[in-house]
Structure formats: structure tokens, C-alpha cells
Amino acid sequence: MTPAVLLYLGAPAVLYLITFMTPAFGWPLAGALVLLLWRAMRSGDGDGGPRPPTLFAAAWSLPVLALMGFGTDHFNWDWIKHWALLNTLEAQTWPVQLTLQGEPAFLRFYLGAYLVPAGLAYLTGWSIVGCTAVWYGLGLALAFEGLGRGAGRLASLVIPLFLTMGGADGWMQTLLRPEDRPISFTGFHHEWWANTLLDHPLQYSAPLSQLLWVPHQALPCLLFVGLLLRLRRPADIGPTVLATGLLALWSPYVLIGASVLLAAQLLEPPDLRHALRHPSLATTSCGVFAAVFVGLMAWTLSHQVPQGGLCLDCVGERLTRPGAYVLFLAVELAIPALILRGRLVQNATSVAALAILTLLPWTAGSVPDAAMRISMPPLVYLFARSALHITQLAPRRLAPAVMAVATLSGPTAWGEATFHLEGGARHAALPAHDPLAARSYVVWARRSDYAVTEFFDICGWKWRPQYFSSTPAPTWPGLPTTPSSR
């Protein structure tokens, strides 16, 4: 499975290096990556441990794809952006240069999830919707298979348990509602419950919510965690380091959280530490490429990057009113705490995950993306460990553990699933002044042919700097002087 994961994460990087980067360094790096991927395929997968059958993992990808919108024909608010970027990449020459509001605009967003389906649609003439469904479905199948490895006889239980896990957001959202405006668990997106207690937006997304709203970041996160859970042998170091570096094209925020977990995992077992002190040529090659690629993407994506993701100056003031933040952490981390208990601090990787999740709320900025996405790898890691641990329990302890998950986080997952099935209808039925009637809940992507200008018209032009710079990134080749106005 490791070679398949590397191919999935690496294919967009090869395309990006060839088409978006200056050939002087983009093409040699693309060649080096192809050689590393070829070697990974020749080496095969050294982990023959138990895992869910591939068909079972693929089968679980189908309901998730359906909830995304491929089965209902309506996609949540974030998919207006997804379709706009996919359509732009399919229609425009790479690297993409447009004219927005009369000014040149250069697409410098992280594009790992978009390049393959857009390129496939362009080359074949197939529907962008079909190409995206196939690409995301493949990623889901690989992710679910990777997360379930090592589960033994109850491997089939890992995926549904994992997708049910999250915080007790459903309970908190309903309990914190005004008495004259009650809501139920069903049909509501409960993830923003903490906004009623804090003066800034804050959310730790459950795995199902991550996949339905931001699959472009959730899929690489799940694939990384699947590799991390199996990082036990020196031979696993190179592929896992390479996969971590490739995250820079998929999600820099996920890369930050993943890098901390990887470092913790590598520094604890003696055999891995020894392998780091005396690395093989294969491990060194993967590490050098990963470092160069991360540096290159940092140079590219930091060009005119907007601010506001973190607020380090806010920590002191927030420490004077810790109650809401402590409650937030208790609600979001209840499942790992109850399931893993003392095992939660028995290995360095879990401790690192807890440290990240504990620190982020105090440093979150006015734009919630950084805290939401940096938190994804540690959350997914702890939920995956919890799901795997449940499958290894004795029968008499298995049922209470499953019931605890269903009771605490089941309402959150159920609300998210029914929210997507109903297309946000219950949010739309609330009074217009209700916070749960905000546009992000009630405006849905009911078509797939959005252009970039429509995306900004609907979601707000304030988001333009997050996706487009006014001048080309320093790593790009020379561009024509007459950009498209699409």
C-alpha cells in the first residue's frame, strides 16, 4: 500500500514541478521524484499486517463520496471554491494567470488535490465531476485501507468507528442554544459550537466533516497518518519522510502538524533513532528531496501570503479567562481520553499530538484556517489510535467502548451526515438573524461549472489574497503579459 500512497501524493507534485516551476529546477526535481516513486514501486510494501480488504475500504469510500455531493447533486459551501479552482485549472494554461477586477492574478494556492482530476478532464474530455469523483474515491479507499491495518479480526469495524469519532459538538451545540430556539441533532452542522463562548472562530473538525468540507486537505492527512501508524522499521523512514514532504503541495497547514508528529515518532524507538544516525542511501535521498521540495513550496506559497492565521500576542489575555478554552479541549478530546486513557501519554507521538491540540486554541487568530488545519493530523492520529484500540479490546469491553463513541460523538457525525443529505434545509428554515442561518450553511454548490469570479462574488472578494497573488511567485517561469479574464 505504501507505494500506492506515494504515487497518489506524488503524481500532482510531478505535474506541478513540470508545469508551474521554472524548468531549470522544476524538471530535475520532477525527474528525481519519478525515480524515488519508481524505486518505491520496485521495493513493494513491506507491511503485510492485517488490514481491511481493499474492496471493503473502497466500499466505504462510496457513502462518503455520496455525502460530499456526488450522490446528492448538492455540495456544501466550500465546494463553490473547489469547483471554481478545478474548472480554472482544466481551462487555463499552467501556471494559471487571470485578470480579476482589472488586475493580474496568479494562482498560487496549494493544488495537490486539483491537478490530477483537472489534467485528466482536459486530456480526455471527460466530465470534471467524474474525474474528481474517481480521484477522491481512490484517495478515500487508500486512506481507509491504511488506517485499518493492524486491526486484526475486527478490521471491518475500524472505518465506521473512525468516521463516527469527533468531539461532543452535537451535544454542546444543542445545549448552548437559546431556550426559545431549540434545535435537534439531525440536519445541523454542529462544529462551530464554541463560537458562542469565544470572541474568535475556533473549530476542531471531526474526520467526517474534514472529508466532506475540505477533502483537498483531509485526504493527504489521512494518508499520512496511515503511514505514520506503520512507521516501525528503518525501511519505513524514507517513504514516510517523502510522503510528509509532499504534503507541502496538498496543505502546508497539514504539513506543519504532520511534521511534529513525524519527528516525535522518529525520535522515540531506538532502532529508528539508530537508522537516523546511520541513514541508508534510500532514506537520505527521500529526506533530501523532501527538504528541497518543502523549501521550494514555502518560497512559492509565502509570496504575498495573507496574515491572521495565528495570534501569539493573544495568549496572555486568553490565559486570564481559561474556562472556555479548557471546556473546548475537554469536549473535543473526550473520545481519545476515555478510550486510550493512560495509553494517551505512553508514546511520544501521542504526547506531541496532545501538545499541538492543547496549544492551538490559545494561539488561534481571526482567520480560523490555521488552527483548524494544523490540528487535523493530531486529531486524525488520536482518533485512528482510538478506533484501532477498540478493535483489540476483549468482547466484554468492546460494547461499552463502542457505545461511548456512539453516545459522545455520534450526534456530531449524524448531524453532519444529515446536514449534507438535506442540503442544509434545517439551517435555511431558521430566522435570518440566527447565527446558524449564515450563508456558509444555507448556500450550496448546486452546479459544478463555477468560475473563479463567481466564487469570489458569492463567498467574498476578501478571500482573493488567499488564492491569488498580484505578481507571479519567484519560482514560476516567465508568463505572457495578457492574462485571461475568465
What single-letter amino acid sits at 25?
F
| Position 48 pLDDT exceeds 60 | no
248-252, 300-304, 377-381: segment of lowest average pLDDT: 300-304
Q: Which of 135, 107, 127 is nearest to 16 (CA)?
A: 107
Q: Apex CA 236: angle with CA 234 and CA 242, to 5°? A: 120
Cα distance between residue 143 and residue 299, in whole Å: 29
Say if residues 39 and 12 touch (Cβ distance below 8 Å): no
Q: In this model, does residue 52 exceed pLDDT 60?
A: no
Give CA 375 to chain center in angstroms.
Answer: 9
Mean pLDDT of 207-218: 98
256-286 pLDDT, tens digit per residue, is 999 999 999 999 888 998 889 899 999 999 9
Residue 108: predicted pLDDT? 87
Specify the higher pLDDT residue, 222 or 39: 222
Looking at the chain, the whole-number percentage of residues with pLDDT higher than 70 is: 95
Widest Cα–Cα separation across the chain: 70
* Dihedral of the alpha carbons of 83, 115, 417, 385, in degrees to the nearest 10: -160
Identify residue 219 by its one-letter amino acid code.
L
* Average pLDDT of the chain, as a whole number: 92
What confidence score (pLDDT) does residue 103 get? 93
Per-residue confidence band for 304, with pLDDT thresholds at 50, 70 and 90: confident
Check: CB of residue 415 under 8 Å from CB of residue 185.
Answer: yes
Contacts of 235 (CB under 8 A, 6+ apart): 43, 46
Query: Based on the number of CB atoms within 10 Å of its own CB, is 104 exposed (0-12), middle (13-18) or buried (19 or more)?
Result: middle
User: What are the two backbone dihedrals, phi and then psi, of residue 109, each rounded to the nearest 5 degrees?
Assistant: -70, 160
Nearest to 343 by CA among 312, 310, 385, 303: 385
Q: Which amino acid is at 306?
A: P
CA distances from 466 to 52, 206, 429, 442 (A): 38, 24, 32, 23
223-241 mean pLDDT: 93
Whether residue 327 contacts residue 295, with contact meaning beta carbons closer than 8 Å, is answered with no
What is the spatial distance between Cα 284 and Cα 281, in angstroms, rounded to a whole number? 5
pLDDT digits (tens, 9 = 90+) for 133-147: 999 999 999 999 998
pLDDT tens track for 335-352: 999 999 999 998 999 999
Distance CA 283, CA 150 (A): 24
Confidence of residue 127 (pLDDT cuts 50, 70, 90): very high
Q: Which of the four pLDDT bands, split at 50, 70 and 90, describes residue 50?
A: very low
pLDDT at 355 over 70: yes
State pTM to two decimals: 0.94
- Residue 156 has what pLDDT? 80
**Residues 62-73, mean pLDDT to the nearest whole number:** 96
Q: In degrees rounded to 5, what are phi and psi of residue 133?
A: -60, -45
Do 363 and 311 meet the contact criterion of CB atoms below 8 Å apart?
yes
Residue 121 has pLDDT above 90, yes or no: yes
Q: What is the pLDDT of residue 148?
A: 81
What pLDDT sits at residue 153?
66
Q: Is 322 left (phi over 0), alpha (psi -120 to 50) or beta?
A: alpha
Residue 103 has φ and ψ, to the nearest 5°, of: -125, 150
Read off the pLDDT band of 420 (50, 70, 90).
very high
pLDDT: which is higher, 40 or 127: 127
Q: With 50 as the cut, is the pLDDT of residue 229 above it? A: yes
Most confident of 38-42, 273-277, 430-434: 430-434
pLDDT higher than threshold 70 for residue 362: yes
